[in-house]
Amino acid sequence: MGSRSRRAPAHCRKLRNGKRSQLTTFADLGLSQKVLSAVADAGYTTPTPIQEGAIPPALERRDILGIAQTGTGKTAGFVLPMLTMLERGRARARMPRTLILEPTRELAAQVHENFEKYGKNHRLNIVLLIGGVSFDEQDRKLERGADVLIATPGRLLDHTERGKLLMTGVELLVIDEADRMLDMGFIPDIERIVKFIPFTRQTLFFSATMPPEIQKLADTFLQNPVRIEVAPPSSTAATVVQQLVACGGKDFEKRERLRELIRSQTDLTNAIIFCNRKKDVADLYKSLEKHGFSVGALHGDMDQRSRTNMLQGFKDNEITLLVASDVAARGLDIPAVSHVFNFDVPIHAEDYVHRIGRTGRAGRAGAAFTMVTRRDAKYVDAITKLIDREIEWLDGKDAIEATSGDSDEKPGRGRRSDSKGTARRSGRDDKRGRDDKPAPVAVAKDVPEPAADEPAKTAAKPAPKQNREERQPRQRAPEPANANANANDDRNNRNRNRHNRDNDDRDPTPVGFGDEIPAFMMIGS
Q: 361-383 pLDDT, tens per residue?
A: 766 788 999 999 989 999 999 99
Q: Which CATH architecture has domain 240-402?
A: 3-Layer(aba) Sandwich (3.40)
pLDDT tens column, 152-191:
999 999 999 999 899 999 999 999 989 888 878 899 999 9
Confidence bin at 15 (pLDDT 50/70/90): very low
Closest CA relative to residue 96, chosen from 197, 28, 188: 197
pLDDT of residue 326: 81
Q: What is the pLDDT of residue 332?
A: 66
For position 478, what pLDDT does the model report? 46
Q: Which carries the bigger pLDDT value, residue 13 or residue 39?
A: 39
Lowest-confidence range among 305-309, 353-357, 469-473? 469-473
Check if the beta carbon of residue 165 is closer than 8 Å to that of residue 188: no
DSSP state of 278: H
Query: What pTM does this model have?
Result: 0.60
Task: List the one residue out of 350, 341, 345, 77 whose CA is nearest residue 236.
Answer: 350
* Maximal CA-CA distance, the chain: 97
pLDDT band per the 50, 70, 90 thresholds, residue 312: confident
DSSP string, 340-358: EEESS--SSHHHHHHHHTT
Question: Would you list the domain boundaries of the chain?
Answer: 13-229, 240-402, 416-525
User: What confidence category does residue 275 fall into, taking pLDDT thresholds of 50, 70 and 90?
Assistant: very high
pLDDT bracket for residue 280 (50, 70, 90): very high
Q: Could you say which architecture CATH assigns to the domain 13-229?
A: 3-Layer(aba) Sandwich (3.40)
In this model, does residue 462 exceed pLDDT 50?
Answer: no
Q: Which residue(s) pair with 241 in the sheet? A: 367
- Residue 504 reports pLDDT greater than 50: no
> Are the beta carbons of 122 and 197 closer than 8 angstroms?
no
pLDDT tens string 120-155: 999 999 999 998 888 999 999 999 999 999 999 999
Between the alpha carbon of residue 70 and those of residues 23, 181, 224, the distances in Å are 22, 15, 25
| CB-CB contact of 371 with 399 (8 Å) | no
pLDDT confidence of residue 498: 42
